[in-house]
Amino acid sequence: MRDQPVPRALIILVGIAGAVIALFGLREIAAIAGPVILSLVLVIAVAPVRGWLDARRAPVWVQVAVPFLIVVLVLLGMAGILTISISQLASLLPTYAGQFEQLLVDGQRWAAAHGLGTDVFNRALRTFDPGRLLGLAQALLGSLIGVLSSLFLIVVSLLAMCLDAPVTAKILAAGEGSRPQLVTALATFAHKTRRYLIVSTVFGLLNAILNVIALSLLDVPLPLLWGVLALIANYVPNIGFVIALVPPALLALLDEGVRTMALVIVAYVVINVIIQSFILPKFLGDAVELSTTMTFISLIVWAFVLGPLGAILAVPLSLLARAVLIDSDPSATWARDLVSGRLPNRRDQAAH
């Protein structure tokens, strides 16, 4: 009697169950997994520097030290800017208690003048406590301390991965004979991730610079902080623009009023539409090859698993999962097309 083939539905269900278990396992160690994965992505980003040094026969210690120092200096620079800016924000927030209370009173008057209910404003006024702004500032400082504590783990992981990078590259090259599909998939993942990071960083910097200029012209406090936030939020697909917009818009409302808030929103929308909708797609092209739906699902899943860091790394993590689970399997062409959201061409159909 011949063995009965395993039903495909059962294979899919077992695969989904295994994925759920793996994701929840990662969620339990998110404090470790997040920084380590970020280190891996950063090492991939600076891999061309190591390749350039290797082509010029630089010593191995130089191939390790130069990429490592580039990443560390960038991380320390961003951490320094965030530390100074958040400290300024922590001291600035309590001074807006009066403006916030006046804003609620004005809103109550406007609602009453237009025949709208004022219950929401009345409850807000009764429960408003200026000390909560100070508590929010302290919470921001506490979050910053948490980020800085993770920075040590990131730096140590970076050093270890940079030390192993030359050997790892040779091991992957040696595996092309036995596992060509997997090696090719991993190489493609590294290339796509690097292109995504480079292009997103360049245009994120352009976006951040334009935002800082606009906020400075509108006299919104702490424009540098909101510029760094715009750069970081640029890596968050779909909702990054909203994350970058809300804090400076609210601060503009408290500091200058509704007119300045509206100008901030208009400036951010114009800058975002020009860069994200017209310029960025021409340079990014098909580097990601993830459909809009898959990108949004990736954001939800990885943010659930790794928190805010997962939202930032959603696209690279999805590219890694695609490389290991789909691109390394020659028979998964249909899944590759489904994830990328593109129709297969006739050549692919003829080949399969």
Looking at residue 121, what is its pLDDT? 55
- The per-residue pLDDT for range 96-115, each reduced to its tens digit, is 666 666 666 666 666 666 55
- The per-residue pLDDT for range 63-83, each reduced to its tens digit, is 888 989 998 888 888 777 777
Looking at residue 209, what is its pLDDT? 92
The label of the residue with tokens 């495909």 reads: 8
Q: C-alpha angle with apex 287: 281 to 291, nearest 5 degrees?
A: 75
Looking at residue 132, what is its pLDDT? 54
Integer-rounded Cα Rg, in Å, for the chain is 24
Looking at residue 352, what is its pLDDT? 47
Looking at residue 139, what is its pLDDT? 55
The 3-state secondary structure of the chain, one letter per residue: CCCCCCCHHHHHHHHHHHHHHHHHHHHHCHHHHHHHHHHHHHHHHCHHHHHHHHHCCCCHHHHHHHHHHHHHHHHHHHHHHHHHHHHHHHHHHHHHHHHHHHHHHHHHHHHHHCCCCCHHHHHHHHHCCCHHHHHHHHHHHHHHHHHHHHHHHHHHHHHHHHHHHHHHHHHHHHCCCCCHHHHHHHHHHHHHHHHHHHHHHHHHHHHHHHHHHHHHHCCCCCHHHHHHHHHHHCCCCCCHHHHHHHHHHHHHHHHCCHHHHHHHHHHHHHHHHHHHHHHHHHHHCCCCCCCHHHHHHHHHHHHHHHCHHHHHCHHHHHHHHHHHHHHCCCCCHHHHHHHHCCCCCHHHHHHC
List the chain residues with pLDDT less than 70.
1-4, 6, 90, 93-94, 96-149, 282-287, 341-352
